[in-house]
Structure 1
Amino acid sequence: MDFPLARRAAARFDVVDETGSTNADLRAHAADADAWPHLSVLVTRNQTAGRGRLDRTWVAPAGSALAVSILIRRALDPSMRGWIPLIAGVAMADSVAAQLPDRVVAVKWPNDVLVDERKISGILAEVAGDAIIVGAGVNTAMTEQQLPVPTATSFAVSGGVVDEDRLLADYLRTLDRHLESLVATGDAIVSGLHARATARSATLGRAVRVWLPGDRMLDGTAAALDGEGRLVVDADGESHVVSAGDVVHVRAN
């Protein structure tokens, strides 16, 4: 498939048969703003050396997943940059939900997309000079036996036959629309993004364990997102603001 819908949603859209990392490839092009403008996209169905958050590896059998990276060139106040991965998570969740209407699709803070509590997509945002690269991996044709962990899922496992072109087109258009709204207002609450992220959240209102930098651990209740997209966790009578950490949803016994 040549992704005709997705191509129309991007400034530049390149498909490669195989690569180590679409994020790394875009990073190599980030300095060339003329050839690689805002909303340039790189896609593959075979990424061999992908990375997730916290430097975790992300590997999938060839043809069983999509890896897509987007180059973002929009001036944002530094306090708003933390919203970019959240915006990407919401945009991907909306795009997945459009093709799995009978499933519960939500976002685990900051940007893991879950289908019925199992992860179907992960997102990694990285700074590249004046630009930001947003990479996403989406499990498409992966079978139950190919899933890396029991908490993962795919379109195939979730009972859906994914339209990859539509998925990417929806994701690109939604991400760009949310980003432009944030740039125009400079405020996630005024733009409505805070409300959208809150509505899509699988984390808020739940008991969580957050692994913080420095091997610290925080147990509490995920209470809210603040104006910068950080997670507010209530624990021991205090509110703790988390800007970076690995969140685990604690299940009731």
Structure 2
Amino acid sequence: MWSQSQSVSPRIVEAPFTGSTNADLVAALRSGEDWPHLGVLLTRDQRSGRGRLDRAWTAPPGASLAISVVLDLSRIPVERRGWIPLIAGTAMAGSAGEQLAGVGVKWPNDVLVGGRKLCGILAEVATSDRVVVGSGVNTRMTAEQLPVETAASFASLGVDVDEDALLAGYLARLGGLAERLARGSVRDEVRESCVTLGQRVTAHLPGGGGITGIATNLAEDGRLEIDGQPIGVGDIVHLRNAE
């Protein structure tokens, strides 16, 4: 099933079902299990998935693909590690874009197609030199199964997704971007795929309140600049898409 992906990843484990692939892989690494760089735990039946800010993420069995990948941080300087969710989103957008048109990254961790959410990204530190990057991709979810009007899936767009090609392309791009991040800047690559840039947005900040303006750029550390002001954490609303 995963023949293309196995040419990229040294270890792929598919669980018939689980609560959370991220939680399982983080626990495995913390218990001392030896998972290699680009090792993958995945399932088509994740029952207690979590998104950013600890939000619940669920889907009917078989309707989505939950993928958790181990990244080796040992060669990536600490000050560059904030880019990891962004390179994961960029990698997934690039791979999904081989089967869908109009795919891009919404800062900091969503993959959109035609302005609707196809995939979310969640990066969790497992150990001092390992991070687990989780992604939940809406693959075979029907239009009726989509949780909100702002979501999309391959199936709802009339595409019978090749999951092996999707995973293989994602892993190859993620590995390449992680290598470039270890050597230097990935800002140009991420900026090219980031559909938030140039849009009028509102950033809802964790402590309350918000900032509205034009998303003008990405800072050197991956923060989003809104009218020149860098934002490190916040829920971003694309106002043109929200109208």
TM range (shorter): over 0.9
Give the aligned partner of residue 109 of structure 2.
111
Confirm whether residue 245 of structure 1 aligns to residue 234 of structure 2.
yes
1:34 CA drift (Å): 6.0
Output the CA distance in 1 between the equivalents of 2:172 and 2:187.
Answer: 18
Give matches, 1:140-179, under 5 Å: 140-179=139-178
Which one-letter code corresponds to 1:24 in the other structure? A
- Structure 1 equivalent of residue 43 of structure 2: 44
The equivalent of 1:7 in structure 2 is: 6
Q: For residue 189 of structure 2, what is the amino acid of its counterpart?
A: R
SS at match of 1:251: helix
Q: How far off its partner does 1:31 sit? A: 3.1
Q: Report the secondary structure of 1:18's partner residue.
A: coil
Secondary structure in 2 aligned to 1:47?
A: coil
Secondary structure of 1:81's counterpart equals: helix
**2:136 counterpart SS class:** strand
Matched residue of 1:99: which SS? coil
In structure 1, distance between residues paired with 2:26 and 2:57: 18
Report the Cα offset of residue 36 of structure 1.
1.2
Matches within 5 A, 1:18-167: 18-31=17-30, 35-75=34-74, 76-100=76-100, 103-130=101-128, 131-167=130-166
TM-aligned CA distance change 1:169 to 1:205, over 3 Å: same
Q: Does structure 2 conserve the Cα–Cα contact (< 8 Å) formed by 1:30 and 1:71? A: no
One-letter code aligned to 2:231: V
2: distance between equivalents of 1:128 and 1:24?
9
Comparing 29-38 and 72-81, the one that deviates more: 29-38
Q: Relative to structure 2, which stretch is displaced further, 104-113 or 24-33? A: 24-33
| SS across alignment from 1:209 | strand
TM-score by length of 1: 0.92
The CA deviation string for residues 105-136 of structure 1, in whole angstroms up to 9 with x for no partner, is 11100121111111100000011122111000
Shift of 1:216: 2.3
DSSP 3-state at the match of 1:133? strand
2:208 counterpart of 1:208: no
Q: What CA distance in whole angstroms lies between the structure 1 residues aligned with 2:3 and 2:176? A: 19
d(CA) in 1 for partners of 2:145 and 2:33? 40
**Identical-pair percentage:** 48
Gaps of 5+ in 1: none
Distance 2:197 2:205 in 1: 18
Q: Is the 8 A contact 1:38 1:74 kept in 2?
A: no
SS of residue in 1 equivalent to 2:189: helix
Name the TM-score, length of structure 2 as normaliser: 0.95
Q: State how 1:164-243 maps to structure 2 within 5 Å.
A: 164-183=163-182, 185=183, 187-188=184-185, 193-234=186-227, 239-243=228-232
CA deviation vs aligned residue, 1:209-252 (integer Å, no higher than 9, x gap): 00112112111110000111110011xxxx31111111000128
Question: Are the equivalent residues in 2 in contact too, given 1:41–1:71 (CA < 8 A)?
Answer: yes
Q: Per-residue deviation at 1:151?
A: 0.2
1:90·1:111 contact (CA, 8 Å) conserved in 2? no
Query: Which portions of structure 1, spanning 4 or more consecutive aligned residues, are displaced by more than 4 angstroms?
Result: none
Deviations 1:155-199 (CA, angstroms, capped at 9, x unpaired)? 01112110000100100011001101111x2x21xxxx2112111
State whether residues 107 and 114 of structure 1, in contact with CA within 8 Å, keep that contact through their aligned partners in structure 2: yes
Give the Å deviation of 1:18: 0.2
Structure 2: runs of 5 or more not aligned = none
State the distance in 2 between where 1:223 and 1:11 align: 39
> Contact conserved, 1:209 with 1:248, CA < 8 A, in 2?
yes
